[in-house]
């Protein structure tokens, strides 16, 4: 590795932070011990700013470009150090746009009733010429295939996974090195 800039972050495929580096896990560091790194990142990622400051926490997070908090057309602005997003979401009716579903129903009685073409007081029947049926006798079962479809106004109460495909790596930050020159 060439000499890194102080505060430089790298993704690595091994399970330790090399000498002079620390995991980007939000840990608190003493300003007195890492004053140069503190001069660069301050309390952007937390800390009291008097005796401590925090490293960025990239555990279970993806990095997104901040570009000074400015956003291009159609893009969201993310000031440096801001976190956003969530790993799971519970959908509710406000997340589902208004829509309609076709629904069909056959409510012909399995037995009983008389086919008729008069809808008054009748149920949908099973014939084309006489599309209605008079009420069957007491306790008549409806055709078991009478109703099909599913209408559910609430998308559910359990959260679902909201994570894009990922590959877990370790992010490390340089504690020492070259102070980055400004343009």
> Domain total for the chain?
1
Q: Write the DSSP assignment of 31-98 as a string of letters.
A: TTTSHHHHHHHTTTT---SSSEEE--B-TT------GGG---TT-----TT-----SEE---GGGSPP
Does residue 139 fall inside a structural domain?
A: no
Range of the domain at 38: 8-62+165-174
The larger pLDDT score, comparing residue 1 to residue 95, is at 95
Report residue 139 as tokens.
């306790």
How confident is the model over 98-139, as pLDDT tens digits? 777 665 554 555 455 666 666 666 666 565 656 666 666 655
Does residue 1 fall inside a structural domain?
A: no
Q: Give me the CATH number covering residue 49.
A: 3.90.1340
At residue 110, the pLDDT reads: 45
Does residue 91 fall inside a structural domain?
A: no
Does residue 47 fall inside a structural domain?
A: yes
DSSP 106: -
How confident is the model over 26-79, as pLDDT tens digits? 999 999 999 999 999 999 999 999 999 999 999 999 998 887 777 788 888 889
Other CB atoms within 10 A of residue 20 CB: 14
118-142: b (≥16 Cβ within 10 Å) or e: eeeebbebeeeeeebbbebeeeeee
Q: Write the DSSP assignment of 135-170 as a string of letters.
A: PPSTTPPBPTTSB-----SS--SS-EE--------E
């Amino acid at each position: 590795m060439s000499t890194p800039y102080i505060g430089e972050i790298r993704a690595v495929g091994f399970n330790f932070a090399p000498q002079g580096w620390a995991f980007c896990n939000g840990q608190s560091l003493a300003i007195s011990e890492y004053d140069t790194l503190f001069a660069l990142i301050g309390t952007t990622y937390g800390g009291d700013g008097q005796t401590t400051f925090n490293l960025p926490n990239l555990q279970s997070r993806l990095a997104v470009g901040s570009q000074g908090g400015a956003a291009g057309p159609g893009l969201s602005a993310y000031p440096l150090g801001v976190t956003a997003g969530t790993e799971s979401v519970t959908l509710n009716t406000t997340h589902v746009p208004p829509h309609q579903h076709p629904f069909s129903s056959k409510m012909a009685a399995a037995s009983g009733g008389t086919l008729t073409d008069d809808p008054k007081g009748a149920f949908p029947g099973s014939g084309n010429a006489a599309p209605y049926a008079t009420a069957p006798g007491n306790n008549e079962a409806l055709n078991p295939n009478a109703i099909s479809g599913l209408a559910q106004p609430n998308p559910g109460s359990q959260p679902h996974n909201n994570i894009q495909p990922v590959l877990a790596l370790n992010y490390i930050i340089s504690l020492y090195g070259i102070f980055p020159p400004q343009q």
